[in-house]
Structure formats: structure tokens, C-alpha cells
Structure 1
């Protein structure tokens, strides 16, 4: 089994203003994390969030010690959410969990080493934990659903809340999924920031040749990343996070930080954006 870990350090907004495209992508773009027979992680210094991917591709993969975490096993002082964006697969930790596409698994602190098998493509999210909450598999049909937007504004979408205060308890991870209706392309607009939490995005179900223009940066100093299918972005607390696609798509959003209050945000008016 091959495990690789990349470290991303936190970037000050004044520094980010001077980045060219290559520097923006090096620090904030997430790509290449789904590779057959590998586990690839990105360890960020934004609330110590880890994002990554595991693709068994016919041979089981096991995630245990990650040097960057400083513990014997990754879940000794962490919680984790795993999202299956591929075919049927199984995750084994404190129990065996069969996962279909769109299902999310929460693993509490101390759940042990984590193994992946089957045809799944597993998106991994992890953050430090201070308490052990029960592990829980949440099928997409069991997630809380919130419908927002309208066809007239090209942002008709359904928000699926999985690891969320309205569904279950966690230490600091808040994770869900947003599916855009056919013909809608805008997500999270009008934009907002939440200085008390970082966020990570993963875009998928994006057709070949299509892209998402992910907006980031301070409201008065916006930048963008061009993102392909099964790629994403690391969004620092000072940054907006919004975007538009060349077709409809689905994205996973994950937050970690001071609290788990989904509505603790500062809205940014369209007139403010530059």
C-alpha cells in the first residue's frame, strides 16, 4: 500500500494578493488525490484539517499511522468523515460499513485503523477531536435536505446535511453535499465568509471536458481556480467560497474550526465583490 502526505501551510491574505495562477493552485487547489491502489492525503495548517482520497481498485488499503499527526494511529486524537463518490465499497474500522455512492461515514476518535475495499472512491476528511462520539454511517437517503435557490437565478440546489448538528454530534467536523439541479450552475451565491472555520470543497459528477470556476479570496480582492472533476479547493477562513460551472455538478463541503454552527457566517453582498 502506498501512502503519501503533502503538507499545506496557512497563507496570509496579504500574501495571497501577490500570487500568480501557479502559486494559487499550489496552495489552494486540490487535485490528484484519487489514484488506483493509493491513499493520498493533504495535511493542512487550517484547523489541522486533512483532506485526501483512497482508491482500493481491487486490493484493500489500510490507513493507520500518519507521521504528520504525531500519534501511533490517525484516529487516536482525531475524528474522520469518509464519503464514497464511486461504486460500492466497504470501510472497516470499529466495524464493517458497506457504502454506496453518496453515503458518508463518521468515525469517532479512537475508532482504530481504517481499511478501504471494493469499488469505492473514498474521499477522506479528518480534524482533531477532543471527545469520542459514536461512529455512524449515514446513507444519502437519511441525510437532512434543504432546498435553496431558483431556476431563474441558475442556483436551484439541494443541500444534504450529513455530519451536521441537526443530524448528529461531532467535535468540529461539519460535512455535507450539495447537488445542483439540471441547468443550474451557481453554488453558494451570494457569497459569505466564516472567519471561525475553514472549509474544503470537492467537486464531482462533473462531465468530461467541463469545469467549475471556483471563486476565492477576500471579497474586495477575489481570485479564481479552474477545477475539474474529482478536484477541489482548500478555503481559508478569510476567503469567500463560491463558484459556477460550465454544467451542473455535485460538491462536498467540509468545515472545521471554532464551532459547528452552520449559520455562523458573514454574508457578502454582490455590491461588495470585486
Structure 2
């Protein structure tokens, strides 16, 4: 399928609904967004759709006919979602990719420290609980390893995206992630994320959370990714950064089916 987009379709897809100087997009920025196939999930394109941008002098976006092939694992109806459900060219694509794949830019929870460094870079804080436990803090993302002793190699245990840290501001997102996905919003509403995932055929299951009622827990069986959502403050608690009810607190991998069964038996 080949799709030719007009300037107003592009403006709607990118969330630029009113022409203004502030809404002008440079060729470099547009190439990054389009070249990384962010427009595909925004518009809900079918797999392997060839996307061609049609621009003219009246268009305030200097896209110059960028062409991109969008290949996703699932498809939804073109422009069928309401405006509030449209994917923005920011962080939502990243979270959807993590939940669908169970990886961070391809880095798996079982990868070695060297493998994760090759993907996310060396800009991290390394921490040790003891000789057998270590984790690396990449800002929003943390990877965890364990080993039997100093004579054994580190074995990947899990990773966690501390989404709640985004509300604090500052340089929370790793450079490699930001280079791939662009700017991140400070808040991620689970309701919107869940709807967009469902349109890609990725469905979440509810799991009893020991932290209820302040949090709820949700799980993706195929990727074994769990999502913890903030639901209500504890009495007298003040949330740093102004977290909102319904915000995603953290995303982690991996959570096995056995763990889910244990949670359901214990807290269900």
C-alpha cells in the first residue's frame, strides 16, 4: 500500500493543529520523526505501508517529500481513532514498543552488562547491594543483574522503567532513547496507553497488586511486561513532581506467568 499525505493530514498526525512560528518543523526534526516511522503508529497504518509526504510552499513544515516504509506488527483503521487517542510523536511509541517486545531498544532483561552498554551507552550510575547484586541506573531505565559469586558472570534479572521520574523534570531520559524517540512527556496516562496497545493487538491483563489501593498492576502475557499505575495517594502523602491519578508509575520486565499466578492466589 502506498499513501500520499497532504500537509493538513501531516499537521493533524504531528499534533500541529494551528499554523504558527512555534509549530514550524525543521527538515532535520521532521526526518527524525518520519524516518523512525513515528507517523505510522500515529495514523494507524497497515504493515509495510509506504508513506510519502506531499508538501508545498504554503505548508509551514519543511518536509520536502520524505518517504518512509512503515512496518509494524499490527494494523488499525486509518485515522479511525479520535483526536485524544492519536499517538503523539513523543514517548508513547517508546512505551508501546517496550511493552510489546519486552526490550528497551532491543536490550533484553537477560542481557549481560556489556550487551546493555552496547545499546544504551556507558552514561550510567553503577550500584551494588553486595557481591551478588548490581544494577545500572540510566535515568528513567534501570537494569538489574545477579551472580552466584565473584567467580561467576553477571546474569540479567530484570529492567524497570521508572516513568514516575519524568515528572521530576531534568535529563531523565537516556540519550540513546531520546535520539530514537524524541521528546518525552512528563506524564503517561495508563488509560490512553492501554487503548493504543489494544489497537495494535497487545492486550493487558489485570493482576492483584499488594500495593492496592494506591496502585494497580497490569501484565502483558506474551512479553511478560508488567505496568504499575498510581491510583490514589496514601493519607498525608505528597507526590513529588505532581503525579496524577492514572499515571503509569513503572514498567518492568520480566514478570513470569508463575509470578502472576502467585499474586492472584495471594492477593486475588
Answer whether TM exceeds 0.5 for this pair.
no
Give TM-score scaled by structure 2 length: 0.28
User: Which structure shows the bigger proportion of residues in helix conformation?
Assistant: 2
User: Which structure shows the bigger proportion of residues in strand conformation?
Assistant: 1
Structure exhibiting the larger radius of gyration computed from Cα positions: 2
Give TM-score scaled by structure 1 length: 0.27
